[in-house]
Structure 1
């Protein structure tokens, strides 16, 4: 007889923790509560640990049960991945990975990551959605994509995350703008009080800037635009100063089409994050891409 617990028993234990009672877990499994109690008892004997505490108010996981349930969730996720892969092979389909990335990460980092990924996983088809950071988080939470990449000062609730890089926001102006010739360093309050060309709400770039401006008097934006290219174009045309990722403006600054304005007194360094659904560990191709993205590389300041 195998000493390994069966997956149905592990799923029952996980459901007790998530649904709050053995009765609800039994209902979700489509079995009677006495059968569920018997299955849990068999699992406790097999593992040699008390997993559920039965009280007058119902059943709850013990401390050991909570630990086992956490590990069991990983086993169940891996089993689901196994069955998806088997189903793909059965139907002659290539493995598929769906990813979403914020615009800055998608434009300047993801192409290199995917190039290496295709060398490692040549039979995997990758679909990439390019949206702003808020939309990336929403798609990951909805299960529409397995892995997302965002930038910003924080990670939304419900997501597990790992830092895969850093970035710096830069203040840039057209060569003919008065700030391009200023002899004093720009300070945070002056920048906050200036109408700027900015990314749209929901963008990680916009969120980073708003967090940096907290507590300062802020002017309304001159323009709100939905892409890095549009913001750069407006800044080059002299509409107003812009604040963008160093990745996004490095070519324009290097060629003189935009001028960086030195800034002091504001923290415009931000993390770049890989995100996935909490409680659903990554498996298969997604873990490969995460490993590639998470390797040390040059930051935006080194470009």
Structure 2
């Protein structure tokens, strides 16, 4: 853009009255009274008089003749009012279009979440969101953390939740909760009666029943056992937490799962939690979004709802989302 064009743009902004002033002028023309126009627009009469005088100074024109019988437009004021009407109508069309775009954005929310978050935390958050936004249609894609990142980067989701040890590349994030992973076995497994904790090195060399590569649980376990030689080849590799739990309950072998996911089975003694030592099995649960595009509209509202404490058996929440 040329300097001359930029200069005209700046001077135009300095010389053309703002929309509030133009709306006041239109009201005076319609009602024939400055006081009536002020009441209609919800401002005081002195403020209305000041606004008219400001417009007159800016334009260098007398716009309104005031008398005890009321206010009438000057010839220049009548002409300016005709121009003002077009500007205000254009502004109203602009506002209506922007509102329509906001409405289209706010009418839907696409969420992608890792399975643990989707099953154990997200339902409560979505119920709370519906109370505040009953007309927002929510769709949920549940999978592993890698899938969540792919959906966000492809603009196929508005907000995501992951449970891996790090923020996926290209995404901004806020920690919304913490979760603990636990070693579990079926009631008949030899470890169920074990009195001493399982050392990290032994856990690393034991074939486990695991989720598929790309799952947040698998990523956390890989990172935690890396100093101890890494994970042994899986005994079984399954695509869902439910399938993993069923295999462990049947006695097929041990697994490492979210404490959120096994609360019911532990309470019913279908699974037994085995203590471990020498390894930290905790992880952050994060909300994620494309870098530079912090959530807006219903996605922003859902993110704010993660600040609420969980119900019984939930993960220990942070005091609020914090940047990761």
Q: TM-score, normalised by structure 1?
A: 0.70
Q: 1:288 aligns with which of 290, 301, 310?
A: 301
- Provide the secondary structure at the position in 1 that maps to 2:292: coil
Aligned residue number for residue 220 of structure 1: 233
Alpha-carbon distance, 1:297 to partner: 3.5
Relative distance call for 1:233 and 1:87 in structure 2 (3 A) is same
Equivalent pair of 1:197/1:224 in contact (CA under 8 Å):
yes
Equivalent pair of 2:152/2:290 in contact (CA under 8 Å):
yes
Equivalent pair of 1:158/1:277 in contact (CA under 8 Å):
yes
Alpha-carbon distance, 1:295 to partner: 3.1
Equivalent pair of 1:163/1:294 in contact (CA under 8 Å):
no
Aligned residue number for residue 168 of structure 2: 156
Relative distance call for 1:96 and 1:174 in structure 2 (3 A) is same
Alignment of 1:129-148 (within 5 A): 129-148=141-160
Relative distance call for 1:89 and 1:175 in structure 2 (3 A) is closer
Q: 2:100 aligns with which of 86, 94, 113?
A: 86
CA distance in 1, matches of 2:2, 2:142: 45
Aligned residue number for residue 272 of structure 2: 259
Relative distance call for 1:261 and 1:88 in structure 2 (3 A) is same
CA distance in 2, matches of 1:242, 1:116: 33
CA distance in 2, matches of 1:230, 1:140: 27
Aligned residue number for residue 188 of structure 1: 200
Give the paired residue count.
232
Alignment of 1:15-26 (within 5 A): none
CA distance in 2, matches of 1:124, 1:43: 40
Tell me the alpha carbon deviations over residues 80-110 of structure 1, each in whole angstroms, 9 at most, x when there is no partner: xx967614758xx970111110000000000
User: For structure 1, which runs of at least 5 residues remain unmatched after alignment?
Assistant: 1-34, 47-81
2:144 counterpart of 1:108:
no
Tell me the alpha carbon deviations over residues 266-295 of structure 1, each in whole angstroms, 9 at most, x when there is no partner: 111000000011111211111100000133
Which has the larger Rg?
Answer: 2
Relative distance call for 1:148 and 1:242 in structure 2 (3 A) is same
CA distance in 2, matches of 1:36, 1:128: 48
Relative distance call for 1:301 and 1:291 in structure 2 (3 A) is closer
- Provide the secondary structure at the position in 1 that maps to 2:169: coil
- Provide the secondary structure at the position in 2 that maps to 1:118: helix
Equivalent pair of 1:152/1:270 in contact (CA under 8 Å):
yes
Q: 1:242 aligns with which of 251, 255, 264?
A: 255
Alignment of 1:35-74 (within 5 A): 35=1
CA distance in 2, matches of 1:110, 1:291: 13
Relative distance call for 1:45 and 1:169 in structure 2 (3 A) is farther
Equivalent pair of 2:178/2:315 in contact (CA under 8 Å):
no
CA distance in 2, matches of 1:118, 1:175: 41
Equivalent pair of 1:172/1:258 in contact (CA under 8 Å):
yes
Equivalent pair of 1:166/1:300 in contact (CA under 8 Å):
no
Q: Which ranges of 4 or more aligned residues in structure 1 deviate by more than 6 Å?
A: 36-46
Q: TM-score, normalised by structure 2?
A: 0.66
User: For structure 2, which runs of at least 5 residues remain unmatched after alignment?
Assistant: 13-95, 318-324
Note the aligned Cα RMSD (angstroms): 2.7
Equivalent pair of 1:222/1:240 in contact (CA under 8 Å):
yes
Equivalent pair of 1:168/1:300 in contact (CA under 8 Å):
no
